[in-house]
Every structure is written in structure tokens, then in C-alpha cells.
Structure 1
């Protein structure tokens, strides 16, 4: 196949992956404020889309890690080709679609790395992968980041509830707790998570497109993403974020634990801190793992709530299989495209058919802004009922007595 045509195909596929990354990871920023009623669902995804777009322009360190770190560019004789990158993207996209269909908040980042590594190993050999960079900037952050975020969220939740506890000074009994300020605060913390997500996840697609341009010989090795690449990737992830990803929002908002405003505030603060720090250091962090760890930690930090460990187990299993599953698909696709143009066409048609099948299958049990998080709807109903009861009580108190009988 003509190299220019192949490069164009890979760029289009990379931008589609960026789109799936957007709707797959919307829940990282907006699931908890939707669950607590801090932001309306449609407003939440619109805000997340805008901030993802802005965040994508703020940093390129992660893009450099992807384009010149994990897969060798060719300085030592190893040369990755656009065909191999095409195969890696296919593995990442299919895994993203499968986990989205199941409502599992798995890592789009690890799906991408797994697909690329599997394709590179099958198409070139083990020496095409920089194992040191993979360990330092992908594997170790994947292990420690969600743990650290969970511990920080646990501590922040305990602190938030401790500082805002109210007791009667005479009897020592608990008074009605007024923590509505945390619901307002969630607007800002969730916005920060969305901004941070743009600084990390959008960079990965920038790195992939930069890598394919280097592989095609149209860009010098060791250079960062060009402006048009940054702009295209920023737009793609923003549009994907606006699409919603409601299935995963349901899992993150109410599937792991019942989320209250103080918990959501603590979880979002710890998530944003971890993502921004990793973006600055060039760590290709899984924002999904960090956000999930924070939600679990905040659930453990509030007395009287329970963490749904069966769902946690399913998510952890998804994390465990992400790299190898995407890697296997990437490797099989790489072997197929090595046969020539016919192999590329077969892979493209089969991948497109699989994506369309999963999309239409999802329509049988549609999840949208109207039913994504039942907790949010229930919370609104309770607040409405309270307001109505207070209004009736005030009306009765102000009603003059009938003395004419």
C-alpha cells in the first residue's frame, strides 16, 4: 500500500481512538458531580468537553513519552512502520469498545500501549520495545497511582467530615450536617479533573500521530507533536467527551459506592492532583485507574457507606487483562497486515464491522443522561420533596385562623 495512504489511514484511526478515549473517560471527571446532583448531566459533559479541549494544549510531555519512549523510533536500527501502528490502534480501539459496552472503566492508555507493544513484537521483534521506559513510565505508575490516589481520597474524606461535623454544645448530640458547600465545590474540582485529563490523555494520540510521521520519514526523530496534530487531537477528544460515555458514568457514579458531595469533592481533588503531577513528569498515567482509586478511597473514608467490592473486582480484572488483551489483538492484526494490501483491507473491514456491531448491540439497553446515575435522580427527588414539605409548613403557619364559625 502507498505510504501516504497508509499514513492517512493511521491518522484517521488514531483520531477515532482519541474520540473513544473521550467518551470512555468522561466518567473520570463528571460521574461523581452528576451522582451528587452538583451538575446536571448534559451540562457536565459539555463542561468536560471544553476543558479537555483546553487541557490538550497545555502540555506535550506525555506525547513525547509515547512517540519517543515506549516504542523505539529507529536510532538503533529498529524501525517501526505505519502498518504496525495501524495494528496497535486496532487492538486499542476494540478493547475500548468492549469495556465501554460492559460499562467497565478500564484504561484507554493501557489499551493503547498494549496494542502497540503487541503489534511491535509481532511485526518487528522484542527489541522494538523500550522495556525500561515501559516499566518506569507505565507499569509502575499503573500500580502506585491508584493506590496513592485512594489513600489521599480516604484521608481527605475523613478530614472533610471531621472538620464539618456539628454537635449540640450542651448535649453533645449530632446536629443536622450542612455540607452543601461541597456540592458547589465539586463544580470546580470536577472541572480541574477534566482539564487535567486533557493534559494527559489527549497527549497519547498526539504521540501516536507523531510516531507515524516519524516512521514515514516526514518528521525528524526526537521531535514533539506539530501544532496541527495538537489541535486535531484536542478536538477529537473533546467531541468524544461530549458524546458522554454514560455506561461508565453509571458505574463510576453509583456502581462503586454511594457518593455524597464531600466524598466527591475529596475524590476529584486527589484525582486531579495525581493526573497533573504525572503530566508534568511525562508519566503516561491511566486517568481511569486514578479516578476509580479515588472513588473507592472516598467510599472507605465515609462512615456508614459501603464499597461494592464485587464491582471493584470486575474493574480490577479488566485492568489486569487490558494490556495483554489489546496486545493480542494488535499482534494478530500486525501479522495480518504484513501480508500486504489485502491484509490491511481485511483488518480495516473486520475492525469496522466489530465496532458497528458493538454500537448497535448497545442500543438494546440504552444508557443516557436520563438514566445514567439513579442516585442523582433520587437525590433531586428527595430535595424537591423536602422543599415542598417546608413550603406547606410555612403556608400553614402563616394562614390566619377562621373565627367566623
Structure 2
């Protein structure tokens, strides 16, 4: 029974990674597709390859997820908590994907884990949740907005005397690099989150000791599923990011992607904080767009997106708590 529950939990974790991929593929490529720097299929193929590569570039975030958020009770209770947390995240991902709302898969996962842990009577490491999840959730969009605005101002000043048509053509080419950088950062951040959950499942099942590191097969499986999900493409969310917030041109797309990618690498390597790629690219787009004029950004759309950010964790936590209650009654 324990082996079966471990296999099922890992399978659900990998399916979550797949939904993360198609839900968040827009983060990496929406700007380059909307400016016609890349065709959708070429952009998705590039993003899938870079997601795969990015997943192998670090392990700090995976350790934060596996050791710094919830206690790890062994046996069926612990496995049920992980299962319920993952289901809560998957359900919220599918709901927000259906409505084309670029919410955070990362915060859906964290909310699901915390909600399931509380329902299961397991300790939540609140200091880790606040330091590694809540604070970055509030700070990273502000940083993305401000840095995106400043980067775009710098580009406008540097190229103020350039021929507009030549500049746009050059930035359209440059976007292939910035989009690849963004996809690499997405792989670095998001694949590791699921690696952390799978390692947590292995620890709970006593397959490996806590702190033993991430097995190679776990890295490859999570990276591959994220990459496959990315290639499947989340077209509904892509339209929201690429067109509904603001009509982007190539220089703006380059500025937004460069800003977001830089923040993803900084937080992953220096702070080891699992931040949301969705929050970063969306806020960077808003900051870049505001340089044109403040009302160029469709703030009504932006308000709906930000509202979705704030309800993601509690909504996923509620679903996870309900799933845990069902599992506990059925198999407890």
C-alpha cells in the first residue's frame, strides 16, 4: 500500500508539472509571439528545450520546497497530505487556465501544501512560508514593475536617435535571445518546485533520508514533464499576457523578458526563493507599458490578474483541505 501511494503521489506530482508547463508557457513566449518575433510553434519548441535545460541549473529552490515549508510526517498521513496538496494546485491551475487568468502555479502548489498540512494536523513552518513565499509574493511584482519601467526608459534613451523601423527589426531579433533567457529561468524556477515535492514524497516513504539530495531520475522526470507541458501551450493565457494588458512592440517585449529573466536568476541563485514567473513577467509588462503612458496599460485587466494572485494560495489551500478530508475518510 505504501509503495502504491508513493507511485500515485509521484504520478500526480508529474501531472502537476505538466499543467504548470502549459499554464505557464505564456510567461516565456507571449511577448515574443505577440510582437511577431517568433511564430507560436517555434517559440513553444524553443521554450520547451530551454525549460528542460533550466531544470538542471540548480537545486536551491527544490531544497526550500522539500525542507522549508511543512513538516514531513512519515506514513500514509504524510503521503495523503502531499497528494491532496498537489490536487488542490492542479484544480486551481485548470480553473485559471480555462478563464485565461495568468495566476501562479507556484503559489497554487504552496497553498495546496499548506492547506493539506493544516487539514492533516501537520506542522507548517510559518517562518519559511513567510520568508520564502509570502514576502517574495508581495515584493517580486513591485520589483518587476519598477525594473521593467527603468529598463524600458533606458532603452528609449539609448535608442532615441535610432531609426524606429531599424530599431524594431533589431529588437525583434534580440527577442529570440530574451525569450530563451526567460524560458531558461522558468525551467530553473518551476521544475525545481516539483522536484522538491517528489523528494518530500521519497523522504516520507523512507526511500531516502532527508538531505540526501535530488536523484537524477527525479530531475529528468520533472524537467521532461515541464517541457512537454510547455510545448502543449497555454493559448488562453498567452492572449491575456500578449495582448490584453497592453499592445507590445519588440523593444517593449525585449525589455519585459530581460527584466523578468534577470529577476528569476537573481532570486534562484542568491536568495534561493521560489518566486512566481507569472507575477514577474506580468508586472514587468505593466512596468514597460507604463513608459508609453500610464493609461496605455489596461489597468482593469491588470486588477483582475492581481486579484487572482491574492486568492490563489487560499483557494488552492481550500481545495487541498477538502481533498485531504475525502482521502482521510475513504482510506484513513
Interval of TM-score (by shorter of Structure 1 and Structure 2): over 0.9
Distance 1:289 1:80, change over 3 A: farther
For residue 278 of structure 1, report the CA deviation from its aligned partner: 1.2
- Listed as ranges, the matches of 1:246-395 within 5 Å are 246-280=235-269, 281-303=271-293, 306-341=296-331
Residue among 87, 112, 117 paired with 2:114: 117
Question: 1:129 and 2:129 equivalent?
Answer: no
For residue 79 of structure 1, report the CA deviation from its aligned partner: 9.6
Distance 1:124 1:304, change over 3 A: closer
Question: Given that residues 75 and 204 in structure 2 are in contact (C-alpha distance below 8 angstroms), is that contact kept between their aligned partners in structure 1?
Answer: no
Aligned match of 1:145? 140
- Listed as ranges, the matches of 1:62-81 within 5 Å are 62-73=61-72, 81=78
Residue among 84, 88, 95 paired with 1:87: 84
Residues 256-292 of structure 1, C-alpha deviations (whole Å, 9 max, x = no match): 0010111111111110011011111210111100010
SS at match of 2:212: coil
Residue among 236, 245, 268 paired with 2:225: 236
Aligned match of 1:178? 166
The normalised TM-score by structure 1 is 0.79
Question: Given that residues 92 and 312 in structure 2 are in contact (C-alpha distance below 8 angstroms), is that contact kept between their aligned partners in structure 1?
Answer: yes
Instruction: List runs of 5+ in structure 2 lacking aligned partners.
Output: none
- Does 184-193 or 276-285 show the bigger shift? 276-285
Q: Give the alignment's Cα RMSD to 1 decimal.
A: 1.7
Question: Given that residues 80 and 215 in structure 1 are in contact (C-alpha distance below 8 angstroms), is that contact kept between their aligned partners in structure 2?
Answer: no
C-alpha distance in structure 2 between counterparts of 1:15 and 1:291, whole Å: 24
C-alpha distance in structure 2 between counterparts of 1:215 and 1:304, whole Å: 50
Question: 1:97 and 2:94 equivalent?
Answer: yes
Question: 1:195 and 2:181 equivalent?
Answer: no
C-alpha distance in structure 2 between counterparts of 1:329 and 1:224, whole Å: 30
Structure with greater contact order relative to length (CA < 8 Å, sep ≥ 6): 2
Question: Given that residues 257 and 305 in structure 1 are in contact (C-alpha distance below 8 angstroms), is that contact kept between their aligned partners in structure 2?
Answer: no
C-alpha distance in structure 1 between counterparts of 2:272 and 2:245, whole Å: 29
SS at match of 1:339: helix
C-alpha distance in structure 2 between counterparts of 1:161 and 1:304, whole Å: 16
SS at match of 2:166: coil
SS at match of 2:57: coil
The normalised TM-score by structure 2 is 0.96
Question: Given that residues 158 and 302 in structure 1 are in contact (C-alpha distance below 8 angstroms), is that contact kept between their aligned partners in structure 2?
Answer: no
Residues 54-103 of structure 1, C-alpha deviations (whole Å, 9 max, x = no match): 110111111101101101235xx999611110011110000000000000
